[in-house]
Protein backbone atom coordinates (compact mmCIF):
# COMPACT_ATOMS: atom_id res chain seq x y z
CA UNK A 1 0.00 0.00 0.00
CA UNK A 2 1.38 3.39 -1.00
CA UNK A 3 0.42 6.57 0.89
CA UNK A 4 -0.11 9.85 -0.88
CA UNK A 5 2.08 12.85 -0.08
CA UNK A 6 -0.83 14.67 1.62
CA UNK A 7 -1.58 11.62 3.81
CA UNK A 8 2.06 11.42 4.91
CA UNK A 9 2.12 15.16 5.63
CA UNK A 10 -1.09 14.85 7.68
CA UNK A 11 0.40 12.00 9.75
CA UNK A 12 3.60 13.96 10.45
CA UNK A 13 1.70 17.12 11.48
CA UNK A 14 -0.73 15.13 13.65
CA UNK A 15 2.15 13.42 15.47
CA UNK A 16 3.93 16.72 16.08
CA UNK A 17 0.79 18.37 17.42
CA UNK A 18 -0.14 15.41 19.65
CA UNK A 19 3.29 15.42 21.32
CA UNK A 20 2.86 19.05 22.36
CA UNK A 21 -0.81 19.27 23.21
CA UNK A 22 -0.84 19.27 27.04
CA UNK A 23 1.67 21.85 28.20
CA UNK A 24 3.45 23.96 25.64
CA UNK A 25 6.14 22.31 23.54
CA UNK A 26 7.21 19.88 26.26
CA UNK A 27 4.00 17.83 26.32
CA UNK A 28 2.88 16.15 29.51
CA UNK A 29 4.30 12.97 30.99
CA UNK A 30 1.30 12.66 33.31
CA UNK A 31 -1.38 15.04 34.61
CA UNK A 32 -3.03 15.19 38.03
CA UNK A 33 -6.32 17.10 38.47
CA UNK A 34 -8.05 18.10 41.68
CA UNK A 35 -11.54 19.31 42.52
CA UNK A 36 -10.14 22.44 44.12
CA UNK A 37 -9.17 25.96 43.13
CA UNK A 38 -5.72 26.70 41.76
CA UNK A 39 -4.75 28.83 44.78
CA UNK A 40 -5.50 25.89 47.10
CA UNK A 41 -3.49 23.47 44.94
CA UNK A 42 -0.54 25.89 44.76
CA UNK A 43 -0.67 26.39 48.53
CA UNK A 44 -0.73 22.61 49.12
CA UNK A 45 2.24 22.09 46.75
CA UNK A 46 4.21 24.87 48.49
CA UNK A 47 3.43 23.39 51.91
CA UNK A 48 4.41 19.88 50.83
CA UNK A 49 7.69 21.14 49.35
CA UNK A 50 8.40 23.29 52.42
CA UNK A 51 7.63 20.69 55.07
CA UNK A 52 9.39 17.64 53.62
CA UNK A 53 12.84 19.02 52.88
CA UNK A 54 14.69 15.76 53.53
CA UNK A 55 12.82 14.16 50.62
CA UNK A 56 11.61 17.10 48.51
CA UNK A 57 13.98 19.92 47.63
CA UNK A 58 12.67 22.91 45.68
CA UNK A 59 15.16 24.18 43.12
CA UNK A 60 15.47 27.94 43.50
CA UNK A 61 18.63 28.34 41.44
CA UNK A 62 18.57 29.93 38.02
CA UNK A 63 20.05 28.04 35.11
CA UNK A 64 23.08 29.92 33.82
CA UNK A 65 24.30 29.27 30.30
CA UNK A 66 27.70 30.50 29.16
CA UNK A 67 28.39 30.81 25.45
CA UNK A 68 31.88 31.28 24.07
CA UNK A 69 32.20 33.25 20.83
CA UNK A 70 35.43 34.37 19.22
CA UNK A 71 37.37 34.25 22.47
CA UNK A 72 34.76 36.19 24.48
CA UNK A 73 32.07 34.78 26.73
CA UNK A 74 28.47 35.79 27.23
CA UNK A 75 26.43 34.76 30.25
CA UNK A 76 22.73 34.23 29.83
CA UNK A 77 20.40 33.59 32.76
CA UNK A 78 17.65 31.33 31.54
CA UNK A 79 14.18 31.64 33.06
CA UNK A 80 10.97 30.27 31.63
CA UNK A 81 8.78 33.08 30.27
CA UNK A 82 5.84 31.69 32.25
CA UNK A 83 7.67 31.16 35.56
CA UNK A 84 4.48 31.29 37.67
CA UNK A 85 3.25 28.14 35.95
CA UNK A 86 6.37 26.01 36.66
CA UNK A 87 8.03 24.56 39.77
CA UNK A 88 11.36 22.70 39.77
CA UNK A 89 12.28 20.28 42.54
CA UNK A 90 14.21 17.13 43.39
CA UNK A 91 12.90 14.04 45.12
CA UNK A 92 15.45 12.07 47.13
CA UNK A 93 14.35 8.44 46.91
CA UNK A 94 16.56 5.66 48.29
CA UNK A 95 19.52 8.10 48.23
CA UNK A 96 18.99 8.85 44.53
CA UNK A 97 17.97 12.30 43.26
CA UNK A 98 15.13 12.45 40.75
CA UNK A 99 14.45 15.88 39.15
CA UNK A 100 11.02 17.14 38.11
CA UNK A 101 9.56 20.27 36.55
CA UNK A 102 5.83 20.50 37.11
CA UNK A 103 3.47 22.75 35.19
CA UNK A 104 0.21 24.22 36.47
CA UNK A 105 -2.27 23.80 33.62
CA UNK A 106 -4.33 26.67 32.26
CA UNK A 107 -3.91 30.44 32.24
CA UNK A 108 -4.00 32.89 35.13
CA UNK A 109 -7.62 33.68 34.19
CA UNK A 110 -8.45 29.96 34.43
CA UNK A 111 -6.69 29.79 37.79
CA UNK A 112 -8.91 32.56 39.18
CA UNK A 113 -12.21 31.20 37.88
CA UNK A 114 -12.03 27.40 37.65
CA UNK A 115 -13.17 25.12 40.48
CA UNK A 116 -10.76 22.41 39.35
CA UNK A 117 -7.01 22.64 38.92
CA UNK A 118 -4.35 20.44 37.39
CA UNK A 119 -0.61 20.02 37.49
CA UNK A 120 1.41 17.94 35.11
CA UNK A 121 4.94 16.63 34.88
CA UNK A 122 6.52 18.70 32.11
CA UNK A 123 10.04 17.24 32.52
CA UNK A 124 11.52 14.44 34.63
CA UNK A 125 14.94 12.82 34.98
CA UNK A 126 16.07 9.82 36.98
CA UNK A 127 19.20 9.56 39.13
CA UNK A 128 21.33 8.89 36.04
CA UNK A 129 20.00 11.88 34.09
CA UNK A 130 17.80 9.80 31.80
CA UNK A 131 14.54 11.48 30.87
CA UNK A 132 13.32 14.78 29.53
CA UNK A 133 9.79 15.48 28.34
CA UNK A 134 7.10 13.78 26.31
CA UNK A 135 7.62 16.41 23.59
CA UNK A 136 11.36 15.87 23.21
CA UNK A 137 11.04 12.08 23.22
CA UNK A 138 12.88 11.61 26.52
CA UNK A 139 9.86 10.13 28.29
CA UNK A 140 7.16 8.71 26.04
CA UNK A 141 5.72 5.49 24.64
CA UNK A 142 9.20 4.32 23.58
CA UNK A 143 10.58 4.48 27.15
CA UNK A 144 7.90 2.67 29.22
CA UNK A 145 10.22 1.44 31.98
CA UNK A 146 11.73 4.88 32.52
CA UNK A 147 8.28 6.50 32.56
CA UNK A 148 7.01 3.92 35.05
CA UNK A 149 10.02 4.49 37.32
CA UNK A 150 9.69 8.30 37.22
CA UNK A 151 5.93 8.15 37.87
CA UNK A 152 6.27 5.66 40.75
CA UNK A 153 8.69 7.96 42.61
CA UNK A 154 6.69 11.11 41.82
CA UNK A 155 3.39 9.64 42.92
CA UNK A 156 4.65 7.95 46.10
CA UNK A 157 6.80 10.83 47.33
CA UNK A 158 4.91 13.89 46.04
CA UNK A 159 1.36 13.30 44.77
CA UNK A 160 0.34 11.24 47.82
CA UNK A 161 1.47 14.13 50.05
CA UNK A 162 -0.44 16.69 47.96
CA UNK A 163 -3.52 14.44 48.11
CA UNK A 164 -3.21 14.35 51.92
CA UNK A 165 -2.67 18.10 52.19
CA UNK A 166 -5.80 18.76 50.10
CA UNK A 167 -7.76 15.82 51.53
CA UNK A 168 -8.79 15.17 47.92
CA UNK A 169 -7.37 12.42 45.67
CA UNK A 170 -5.99 13.40 42.29
CA UNK A 171 -7.65 12.26 39.10
CA UNK A 172 -4.73 11.01 37.02
CA UNK A 173 -4.34 11.22 33.24
CA UNK A 174 -1.30 9.33 31.99
Q: Does residue 32 register a pLDDT over 50? A: yes
pLDDT score for 153: 95
Closest CA to 149 of 86, 93, 87: 93
Query: Alpha helix (H) ranges present in the chain?
Result: 5-19, 38-51, 108-113, 144-154, 160-166
The set of residues, in sequence order, having a beta carbon less than 8 Å from that of 48 and lying 6+ positions away, is 56, 158, 161, 162, 165
Q: Which residues of 139-149 are buried (b: 16+ CB within 10 A; e: fewer)?
A: bbeebeebbeb
Q: How far apart are the first and last CA of the chain?
A: 33
Query: pTM value?
Result: 0.73
| Domain ranges within the chain, ordered by starting residue | 21-173
Asked if residue 156 lies in contact with residue 34, where contact means CB atoms within 8 angstroms, the answer is: no
Segment 57-82, tens digit of pLDDT = 777 555 544 444 444 444 444 455 56
**How far is residue 58's CA from residue 42's CA, in Å, rounded to a whole number?**
14
Segment 123-160, tens digit of pLDDT = 999 999 999 888 777 888 888 999 999 999 999 999 99
106: left (phi over 0), alpha (psi -120 to 50) or beta: left
CA of 109: how far to CAs of 37, 43, 85, 104, in Å? 12, 18, 12, 12
CB count within 10 Å of CB 39 equals 11
Closest CA to 90 of 82, 100, 78, 103: 100
Residue 170 exposed, middle or buried by CB count within 10 Å (0-12, 13-18, 19+): buried
Amino acid sequence: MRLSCSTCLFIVVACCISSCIDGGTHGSISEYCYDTKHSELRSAVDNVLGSNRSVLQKDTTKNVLIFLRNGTSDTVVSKHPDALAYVDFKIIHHRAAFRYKIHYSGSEIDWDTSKTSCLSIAYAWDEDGHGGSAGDGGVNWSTPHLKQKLLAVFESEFIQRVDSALDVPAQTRK
